[in-house]
């Protein structure tokens, strides 16, 4: 492979051929002018360029994790899906405890498995309410939880 140009986005500089999903890794820390720190985590559910999650399942899992995660932490800034459909970014403020993040993700995914509906799955609260799959979200959560022991291992 030829030399890859270094880019501004951290994940674009990650060699996606060397990672082994699923994993949870700290992707970056941004410091604000007033001393706040945003910790961005890469929650990788599927192996890049080998498999992906379907959009309705990603969308529902995003709604579920965004809502449920806030039951466990007031440090959540955002949970957003990756365009490549292989995972999510979780951003937290002033919270650098990796073990706590692993526990948070585990609890939230366990709650996803118990969910009976997708929060805000309607045209008033969602921009594409027709694109949801509670069962797909649960299947992705189940697969991720089944490999919890591998979450700390990012590289093959």
Of 101, 103, 71, 72, whose CA–CA distance to 89 is shortest?
A: 101
Of 90, 73, 71, 86, whose CA–CA distance to 28 is shortest?
A: 90
Q: How confident is the model at residue 113 (pLDDT cuts 50, 70, 90)?
A: very high
The share of the chain scoring above pLDDT 70, in percent, equals 99
3-state helix, strand, coil in the chain (%, to 5): 35, 20, 45
User: What's the whole-model pTM score?
Assistant: 0.95
Residue 61 confidence (pLDDT) above 80: yes
- Rounded to whole angstroms, the Cα distance separating 59 from 57 reads 5
Q: What is the mean pLDDT of the chain?
A: 96
Residue 30 confidence (pLDDT) above 90: yes
Q: How confident is the model at residue 156 (pLDDT cuts 50, 70, 90)?
A: confident
Residue 3 pLDDT: 75
Residue 20 pLDDT: 98
- Across 112-127, average pLDDT: 98
Residue 1 pLDDT: 52
Residue 145 confidence (pLDDT) above 70: yes
Residue 2 pLDDT: 61
- Rounded to whole angstroms, the Cα distance separating 155 from 59 reads 27
């Amino acid at each position: 492979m030829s030399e890859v140009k270094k880019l501004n986005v951290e994940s674009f500089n990650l060699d996606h051929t060397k990672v082994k999903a699923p994993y949870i890794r700290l992707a970056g820390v941004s410091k604000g002018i007033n001393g706040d720190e945003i910790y961005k985590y890469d929650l990788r559910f599927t192996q890049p360029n080998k498999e992906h999650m379907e959009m309705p399942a990603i969308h529902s899992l995003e709604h579920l994790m965004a809502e449920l995660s806030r039951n466990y932490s007031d440090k959540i800034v955002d949970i957003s899906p990756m365009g490549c459909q292989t995972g999510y970014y979780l951003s937290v403020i002033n919270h650098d405890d990796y073990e706590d993040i692993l526990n948070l993700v585990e609890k939230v995914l366990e709650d996803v498995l118990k969910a009976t509906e997708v929060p805000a799955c309607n045209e008033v609260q969602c921009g594409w309410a027709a694109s949801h799959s509670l069962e797909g979200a649960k299947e992705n959560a189940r697969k991720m939880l089944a490999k919890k022991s591998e979450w700390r291992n990012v590289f093959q």
